[in-house]
Structure 1
Amino acid sequence: MGILRAAAAPLASARTYTRWVYLVLGGALFMPFFVAVLVLMSLVTPWGPTPADQGGLGPEGFIGTAVAAVLGGLTGFVPGVHAVQAQIARSLLGGPLADEPRLAGADWRTRARGSCWLALLFAAGLAVSIATMVVLTDAASLALIPLLGEAPDLGQRIILVDWNPSGAERWAAPFAGAGLLVLFIYAVALIGAGAARLARPLLGASAADRLAAVRARAADLGERNRLAAELHDSIGHALSVVALQAGAASRVIDRDPGFARDALEAIAEQARTATAELDHVLGLLRENPGDRAPQRALADVPHLVEAARAAGTEAEYTAGGPVGEVPPVVARELYRICQEGVTNALRHGTGGPVRVRVDASDDAVRVEVANPCTARRPRRRGGGRGLEGARERVRLLGGELRAGAEDGVWRLVADIPWKSGR
């Protein structure tokens, strides 16, 4: 049953048909370029339309297809085209591209890759569109043979050439048509799956786009962190006083109403002060968005390990390669990932050594945090946000994060490319 279910999956999957629609749409968008090129070729070359009985389009059709695909692909440099085609591909193709973040940047390299994608889509879309017309026509004509007594006269066929069954063979014709259609759906599923895999390297964000998105996200997080710090410093004291005064007033309200009255007045005063401080903090953040505190990076990981030692946990740090050459935006995110790994080790570890290692190469960097753990880590209610945040950081940088227990050791490993190549 498992084999049959797997074999029937492409036929029952909605993704197969959305990819089919995507390819046919590519062929439809390609037709104006294709027809225009064929018309121009007929005007400036001795070639003319090839008669159908001589093999369809002929050599000029293939040359025209190639030229039109290149010209159509150049529309990928038009502003806005890359973002639109990437969004359509995410919706209809799915695959790895759908899991990528939606980034607004599109430099000339990104548009060049998008142009290559358009050229391939147009050529493949034309082929799939023509095949769709032929297969659907042949399947329908075969299904009509038992009713009409013979195959409809549709001219020259491409897939089933001049097969006109008679007698008992006529009742097998509809099954042959259904089989032809099923085989074509499998072919479309295969082509669509290949297109979905190819879409990510050609339509996905470039390393420059990713770094720009990370910088924007870091800026937003910086504003949030600054807001939290300002609120803590300016309002935390006022709230603490309110809590103390309210507790004291509740204890003595029956035997010392005067003290309780004074405490309530102090609470009101502190509330007014807190409101004024809140307005002040929000005003500062609106007026000075660029004033941010220094952010920690890979160079601060040894201090993170030292803090773990100070907490009474055995910890060690090793580094290899050009760690100092890692871009600051990547180094800051990797520090947070190391911090999450060390925090999990302190919370859930068995007290054994925590090992932090950073390895940098010419085009990538890896961080690994390992610590002994119990056979089954207890699940905390509401937990897991830190690990999800680490995965989001790594995914935005185009890397990969793995975390889990193996042979009594919990490992968190992040691999991130940091050069301009994909």
Structure 2
Amino acid sequence: MRHLHRPLTTAARPFTSAHTYRRWAYLIIGGALLTPYAMAGLVLATLITQGGTAQESPGPGGWVLGLLITLAALAATARVPAVAGAQHQLARALLRGPLNLLPDTPPAPGARTFVWLCLFTFTGMAVCLATMVGLTESALLAVAPLTGDPLAPAGPLTVLGPSPEPVPSPLGPLAGLALLLAVIAAVALTGHLMARLAPRLLGPSPASLLADAQARARTLAERNRLARELHDSLGHALSVITLQSATAARLIDTDPDFARQALTHIADQARTATADLDHALGILREDTTAPTAPPPDLTHLTHLAETASHTGTPLRLALDGDPRAVPALLSRETYRIAQQALTNALTHAPGRPLDLTLDIAPRHLHLTATNPLPPRRPLGRRRTGGRGITGMQERAHLLGGTLTAGPHPAADPTHWTLDLTLNWKDTDTP
């Protein structure tokens, strides 16, 4: 029985699915929308072909002219900007299907909207007629045994004339049920085809999809850049504040002068962190002007070393070359990498010296940060890895450089070494 259950479920799905009846309502709306256009076109065509009177039914020429007037009215409607959006939203709400998987961007008014309006209204009118005839005939067939008539109508063909093969009244309910199921199946198939066509005519154009993808990529890249900025700047400031506040609390009784200096540096770091946060938020807010204070770069490395000395972590800085010769973007990003290297040393190896070496050539720089590894912790007290190294590697990759970080067993397994290499061309501008 189980192998028969799945085919039966699949066959019954068009009759039990809510999509079928939702799309049925959608198509009936299309038929109702076509009615005033078709009536107006037919009346105008009759008046034109009959010299201003409508005494007789329109001939073949009148029907053709009426169709052309209807199409012209639909084309004018498709040019209205709000129509494309309304059709898009109506199809998403009732047709659903693949259109709902695309971005909620309506098409621009034009040819695609016109084609969809024609398809929507004329198909809807056909579904309206099939619904009226099919439901009426199926109901007449179903009640045939109750009327006492020996014969019953034979389905929708009776609207065109007498049925060639009348159905005996006892079989009327079965014929009515079969006709009803046929109408539902036809509507389900029509709605499915309309749902498959909707993305091509009501969905965003390929150019719009490409523009949206590029905009999302730019937004994601900007978010990642701001995340790195906040992680490196605020992470460094908070690490320094944590160490200096702990030192000030420990020495406030025995060495109040040093504790006072530590508190002063805490205030400086807090102001720096506030400025960095304001810089990042200024980029996020579209209604604010760009911050005037430039972010720190390699010319601030000396200040970074002085800040580290107040935390009890000696930073030995060896600088070879002129930091001002480095392009501005590379200078800022390299400073952030050096700052994050110091933050990692303060966090994972507090109090241990950090050697920071920067060699600057005309088209090349090499940054090395080395500090002793802390004693191995018990397994239950291991720190979880953060995002610092990942952020530094992302910065280096975006600049076309290379960055490695970790202990080097071949050289000195007792030290952690960060190595950054960046190159640029003479034509690069800051």
- Same fold? TM cut 0.5: yes
Gaps of 5+ in 1: 52-56, 290-422
Structure 1 position 149, deviation (Å):
2.5
CA distance 1:247–1:76, shift in 2 (3 Å) = farther
Contact 1:66-1:123 within 8 A present in 2 as well: no
Is 2:186 the partner of 1:187? Answer: yes
Structure 1 position 193, deviation (Å):
1.2
- In the alignment, the residues of structure 2 paired with residue 241 and residue 95 of structure 1 have an alpha-carbon distance, to the nearest angstrom, of 55
> What whole-Å deviation, never above 9, does each CA across 1:294-333 have from its counterpart, x for those lacking one?
xxxxxxxxxxxxxxxxxxxxxxxxxxxxxxxxxxxxxxxx
CA distance 1:16–1:73, shift in 2 (3 Å) = farther
**Match for residue 13 of structure 2?**
9
Contact 1:69-1:122 within 8 A present in 2 as well: no
Structure 1 position 58, deviation (Å):
7.7
Secondary structure class of the residue paired with 2:105? coil
Is 2:93 the partner of 1:96? Answer: no
Structure 1 position 80, deviation (Å):
2.1
Structure 1 position 221, deviation (Å):
3.5
Structure 1 position 91, deviation (Å):
1.9
- In the alignment, the residues of structure 2 paired with residue 66 and residue 197 of structure 1 have an alpha-carbon distance, to the nearest angstrom, of 27
> What whole-Å deviation, never above 9, does each CA across 1:132-158 have from its counterpart, x for those lacking one?
111111112222223333469x99933
Q: Which among 24, 27, 39 is matched to residue 31 of structure 2?
A: 27
Give the structure with higher Rg (CA).
2
**Match for residue 132 of structure 1?**
131
Aligned AA (1:37) = G
- Root-mean-square deviation (Å): 3.7
- In the alignment, the residues of structure 2 paired with residue 284 and residue 6 of structure 1 have an alpha-carbon distance, to the nearest angstrom, of 54
Alignment of 1:218-257 (within 5 A): 218-232=217-231, 234-246=233-245, 248=247, 252=250
- In the alignment, the residues of structure 1 paired with residue 87 and residue 11 of structure 2 have an alpha-carbon distance, to the nearest angstrom, of 31
Alignment of 1:250-265 (within 5 A): 252=250, 258=256, 263=262
CA distance 1:61–1:148, shift in 2 (3 Å) = farther
Contact 1:156-1:162 within 8 A present in 2 as well: yes
- In the alignment, the residues of structure 2 paired with residue 113 and residue 98 of structure 1 have an alpha-carbon distance, to the nearest angstrom, of 18
**Match for residue 337 of structure 2?**
none
Alignment of 1:139-150 (within 5 A): 139-150=138-149
**Match for residue 358 of structure 2?**
none
Secondary structure class of the residue paired with 1:157? helix
Aligned AA (1:35) = M
Gaps of 5+ in 2: 292-430
> What whole-Å deviation, never above 9, does each CA across 1:97-124 have from its counterpart, x for those lacking one?
22111225x446xx21121111111111
Is 2:85 the partner of 1:83? Answer: yes
CA distance 1:219–1:80, shift in 2 (3 Å) = farther
Aligned AA (1:136) = L
**Match for residue 326 of structure 1?**
none
**Match for residue 111 of structure 2?**
112
Contact 1:246-1:267 within 8 A present in 2 as well: yes
CA distance 1:33–1:284, shift in 2 (3 Å) = closer
Secondary structure class of the residue paired with 1:80? helix
- In the alignment, the residues of structure 2 paired with residue 257 and residue 148 of structure 1 have an alpha-carbon distance, to the nearest angstrom, of 111
Aligned AA (1:118) = L
Structure 1 position 68, deviation (Å):
1.7
CA distance 1:205–1:50, shift in 2 (3 Å) = same
TM-score of the pair, normalised by structure 1: 0.56
- In the alignment, the residues of structure 1 paired with residue 8 and residue 62 of structure 2 have an alpha-carbon distance, to the nearest angstrom, of 44
- In the alignment, the residues of structure 2 paired with residue 39 and residue 26 of structure 1 have an alpha-carbon distance, to the nearest angstrom, of 20
**Match for residue 176 of structure 1?**
175
State the identity %.
Answer: 47
CA distance 1:61–1:190, shift in 2 (3 Å) = farther
Contact 2:134-2:156 within 8 A present in 1 as well: no
- In the alignment, the residues of structure 2 paired with residue 61 and residue 131 of structure 1 have an alpha-carbon distance, to the nearest angstrom, of 21
- In the alignment, the residues of structure 1 paired with residue 157 and residue 213 of structure 2 have an alpha-carbon distance, to the nearest angstrom, of 58
- In the alignment, the residues of structure 2 paired with residue 139 and residue 212 of structure 1 have an alpha-carbon distance, to the nearest angstrom, of 51
- In the alignment, the residues of structure 2 paired with residue 272 and residue 15 of structure 1 have an alpha-carbon distance, to the nearest angstrom, of 59
